[in-house]
Amino acid sequence: MATAARSVRDVDDLSAEELRTVLDRAASMKAGEGGRPLADRTLAMVFEKPSTRTRVSFETGMTQLGGHAVFLGPDDIGIGGREPVADIARTLSCYVDVVMARLFDHAHIEELAEYATVPVVNGLTDDAHPCQTLADLLTIRETLGGFDGEVAWVGDGNNVAQSFVLGCAMAGQSLTVATPSGYGIDDAVLDRAADLGEAPTVTDDPAAAVEGADAVYTDVWVSMGQEAEREEKLAAFEGFQVNADLLAGTDALVMHCLPAHRGEEVSADVIESERAVVWRQAENRLHAQKALLAWLLDA
């Protein structure tokens, strides 16, 4: 088997220095610098889960970089079904320069990366969302002037939260995570964060988490594939909504990776307020991913 290429299955596949390099490159590209370094390069986009931001940002990004993106949906590639993951990885490696996959099972992104001979980027799995974390860190750096402030995560310890915990540890960003009992960050992720820099402060009190925060981040309580758990989760997360009452007495910015369920994890008035930076986060997906693709392809 040929040697696997450098891949990003989670954000800590980058070193802290490489993370800074990618963020710097993203800021440069956002400022209009960098040209079209991926001319004649092709990205395969493998989608098992639906998407708005992931597909459009990656496809647009490849176009802006001078390359081309090929969309492969569930009807085109049945991950682990119609064809083994290893065979998909080896076949795609014959045709394209880089693969991005948005999947359910994190083990499938690991297997793609193991058998592909081109870089593989995790566009989201049930365990991790590194591309969102790159955009989040870029947004924090832009809006707070660096990573010296205080950030709080309020809500589910889901895939977005877990990659964000790792990214904050790598960047030196102080973080407090407030989740209901039973819905926290995996212990293994907290251990990885501690090895990378500093594990977050963990609490089950959202009011304590947001006290003194410069930014408050939340995400949906019921993720794709968890619809059967909806009523149970809504009951468990009572009191964790990011709303005006929770934010009273703070000037904290509000972050959300989208899509948002207004009236559940965040109130409509807060996400539509001037303190929300959610659209900057969404835009920064484009710039962060362009920088990551160019870095992975050494362009």
Given the residues 41, 256, 285, 287, the one annotated as active site: 285
Tell me how far apart the alpha carbons of residues 253 and 143 are, in angstroms, rounded to a whole number: 9
Q: Which residues pair with 101 in a beta bridge?
A: 46, 122
Query: Is 281 among the annotated ligand-binding positions?
Result: no
CB 156 within 8 A of CB 132: no
Instruction: State the catalytic residue, choosing from 132, 162, 173, 281.
Output: 132
54 annotated ligand binder = yes
Task: Name the 3-class secondary structure at 206.
Answer: helix
* 257 annotated as a binding-site residue: yes
Q: How many Å apart are CA 210 and CA 216, to the nearest integer? A: 7
Q: Is 64 a catalytic residue?
A: no
What one-character-per-residue DSSP string does 73-89 give?
A: -TTT--BTTTB-HHHHH
Cβ pair 161, 129 in contact under 8 A = no
Residue 129 in marked binding region: yes
Peptide linkage before 259 cis (omega within 30 of 0): yes
126 annotated among ligand-binding-site residues: no
102 is catalytic: yes
63 has binding-site annotation: no
**Does 285 appear as a known binding residue?**
yes
Determine whether the annotation assigns residue 256 to a binding site.
Answer: no
List 219, 241, 256, 281, catalytic entry: 219
Containing 199, the helix (H) or strand (E) segment is: none
- Specify whether 219 is catalytic: yes
Catalytic one among 25, 257, 287, 289? 257
Is position 287 annotated in a ligand binding site? no
C-beta separation of 154 from 240 below 8 A? yes
Q: DSSP 3-state assignment of 107?
A: helix
Residue 241 labeled ligand binder: no
Going from the C-alpha of 163 to that of each of 126, 228, 256, the distances in angstroms are 11, 24, 14
Which of the following is catalytic: 102, 108, 141, 287?
Answer: 102
Q: Is 156 left (phi over 0), alpha (psi -120 to 50) or beta?
A: beta
> Does the annotation flag 219 for ligand binding?
yes
Catalytic choice (129, 141, 256, 287): 129
Instruction: Name beta bridge partners: 153.
Output: 177, 217
Structure tokens at 256: 């959300």
Is 168 noted as a catalytic residue in this protein? Answer: no
Question: Which residue numbers belong to the known binding site for carbamoyl phosphate?
Answer: 51-54, 102, 129-132, 257-258, 285
Question: Which residue numbers belong to the known binding site for L-ornithine?
Answer: 159, 219, 223-224
Active site residues: 102, 129, 132, 219, 257, 285
Question: Which residue numbers belong to the known binding site?
Answer: 51-54, 102, 129-132, 159, 219, 223-224, 257-258, 285
